[in-house]
């Protein structure tokens, strides 16, 4: 009996030891599994600092100058002095309209002028001859009055002739159609031999696209933001055609902001002036616009790729002091493809996760590596 109790005690003691050992191994295994499940993530520590802030818009280019050459006299088109699409200079003769009828009228007007000048000279001579006779009482004053009236009448005729000649000379000059600006001319819209009509016939179109206007319509709120924070009187802009490479990027400055808001759209007309000396862009091109606001304001900025969305709005993942993931809701002041300006929700020192975001859960323990802010400075 004694030996049976001893054996039973030994068996119970062995079983207890095995149970304790098994539990310890289970705990060790659990800790190893938890350690293995930790995810490596990249983080950067939030710091308030300055960033170059560019605001994105869409717009459309417009020629700096554009003219439609029209005939100013009637007649047959006799000559075209340019090649379609070439560069032309201000004052360059581009078209010649038949001028024989206007030259004939001009000669007639000049002949009439010569005749009336001769009559005026005779009237002047008569007045000079009668003035001393009247002063001596040798001729009636009424006769002198008639001669003076005749002189004035002839002077008026001469003045009218001069004005008429000036107008006819203009008609003659208008038969030579000149460019009114420097620029590129399109194709001739009228063929030689056709009749053209004053003011109704467009002969060709010329545009000056060495400089371009870019028109766009930011919201009134965006315009207020620009006016408040701009670091330059005329903010600089960069533009490129929609969906194109940076090889076509052009630069310029804002040169006009309207003083009223469009009541139906809530937008304000704005315009930039762009250097296009190489004619890389055509008028009427839809473009992407980057407007430089400032780089003088310290703020918290993160990359848009690090922001997620839930029912409460925008949020980011941060690593707390216990190396666990936390969700932080944030409010964004402004965002584009390069940066998002955080109004609230983050403070300096927060470690924001910038990798493996979709693989992480709230309160998940992670291993983190500090990297630089992906937002360009």
Domain end marker among 245, 277, 296: 296
Do 87 and 113 lie in a common domain?
no
Q: Residue 131 sits in a domain of what CATH number?
A: 1.10.287
326: phi then psi, degrees, rounded to nearest 5: -130, 150
Q: Residue 33's pLDDT is what?
A: 45
In tens digits, what is the pLDDT along the chain, a chain of 377 residues?
Answer: 444 555 555 555 555 545 555 555 555 544 444 444 688 999 999 999 999 999 999 999 999 999 999 999 999 999 999 999 999 999 999 999 999 999 999 999 999 999 989 988 988 888 888 788 778 777 788 888 888 898 899 999 999 999 999 999 999 999 999 999 999 999 999 999 999 999 788 999 999 999 999 999 999 988 988 998 888 899 999 999 988 766 788 999 999 999 999 999 999 999 999 999 988 899 999 999 999 999 988 999 999 999 999 999 999 999 999 999 999 999 998 888 889 999 999 999 999 999 988 889 999 999 989 999 888 87
Beta-carbon contacts of 73 under 8 Å, excluding residues fewer than 6 positions away, are 97, 102, 171, 174, 175, 198
Do 303 and 292 lie in a common domain?
no
Do 355 and 310 lie in a common domain?
yes
Do 292 and 308 lie in a common domain?
no
Q: Residue 221's pLDDT is what?
A: 87
243: phi then psi, degrees, rounded to nearest 5: 60, 35
Residue 132 lies in a domain: yes
- Which residue segment(s) compose the domain that 200 sits in? 66-99+176-205
Q: Residue 130's pLDDT is what?
A: 75
Q: Residue 22's pLDDT is what?
A: 54
Q: Residue 277 sits in a domain of what CATH number?
A: 2.40.30.170
Q: Residue 305 sits in a domain of what CATH number?
A: 2.40.420.20
Distance CA 66, CA 199 (A): 17
Do 187 and 77 lie in a common domain?
yes
SS3 assignment, position 81:
coil
Could you read off the pLDDT of 219-249 as tens digits, one per residue?
998 898 899 888 889 999 999 998 876 678 8
Q: Residue 144's pLDDT is what?
A: 80
Instruction: Round to the nearest angstrom and report the end-to-end CA distance of the chain.
Output: 88
Q: What's the distance, CA 222 to chain centroid?
A: 15
Q: Would you say 166 and 82 are in contact if contact means Cβ atoms under 8 Å apart?
A: no
Q: Residue 90's pLDDT is what?
A: 96
Which of 202, 198, 163 has its CA nearest to residue 185?
202
Residue 23 lies in a domain: no
Do 198 and 242 lie in a common domain?
no
Residue 5 lies in a domain: no
Q: Would you say 206 and 67 are in contact if contact means Cβ atoms under 8 Å apart?
A: yes
Do 220 and 315 lie in a common domain?
no
């Amino acid at each position: 009996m004694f030996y049976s109790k001893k054996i039973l005690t030994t068996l119970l003691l062995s079983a207890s030891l095995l149970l304790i050992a098994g539990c310890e191994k289970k705990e060790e295994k659990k800790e190893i599994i938890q350690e293995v499940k930790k995810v490596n993530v990249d983080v950067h520590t939030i710091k308030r600092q300055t960033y170059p802030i560019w605001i994105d818009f869409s717009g459309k280019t417009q020629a700096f100058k554009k003219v439609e050459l029209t005939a100013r006299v009637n007649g047959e088109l006799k000559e075209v002095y340019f090649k379609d699409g070439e560069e032309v200079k201000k004052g360059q003769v581009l078209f010649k309209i038949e001028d024989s009828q206007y030259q004939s009228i001009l000669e007639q007007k000049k002949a009439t002028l010569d005749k009336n000048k001769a009559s005026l000279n005779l009237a002047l001579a008569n007045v000079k001859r009668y003035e001393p006779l009247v002063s001596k009482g040798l001729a009636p004053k009424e006769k002198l009055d008639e001669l003076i009236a005749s002189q004035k009448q002839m002077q008026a005729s001469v003045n009218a002739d001069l004005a008429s000649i000036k107008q006819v000379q203009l008609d003659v000059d208008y038969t030579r159609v000149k460019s009114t600006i420097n620029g590129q001319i399109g194709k001739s819209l009228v063929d030689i031999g056709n009749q053209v009509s004053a003011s109704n016939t467009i002969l060709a179109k010329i545009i000056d696209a060495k400089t371009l206007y870019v028109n766009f319509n930011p919201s009134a709120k965006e315009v207020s933001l620009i006016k408040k924070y701009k670091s330059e009187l005329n903010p600089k802009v960069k533009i490129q055609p929609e969906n194109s490479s940076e090889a076509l990027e052009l630069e310029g400055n804002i040169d006009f902001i309207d003083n009223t808001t469009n009541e139906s759209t809530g937008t304000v007309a704005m315009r930039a002036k762009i250097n296009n000396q190489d004619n890389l862009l055509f008028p009427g091109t839809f473009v992407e616009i980057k407007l430089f606001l400032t780089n003088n304001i310290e703020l918290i900025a993160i990359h848009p790729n690090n922001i997620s969305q839930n029912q409460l709005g925008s949020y980011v993942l941060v690593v707390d002091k216990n190396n666990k993931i936390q969700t932080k809701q944030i409010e964004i002041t402004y965002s584009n493809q390069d940066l998002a300006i955080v109004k609230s929700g983050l403070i300096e020192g927060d470690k924001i996760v910038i990798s493996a975001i979709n693989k992480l859960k709230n309160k998940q323990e992670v291993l983190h590596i500090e990297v630089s802010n992906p937002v360009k400075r």
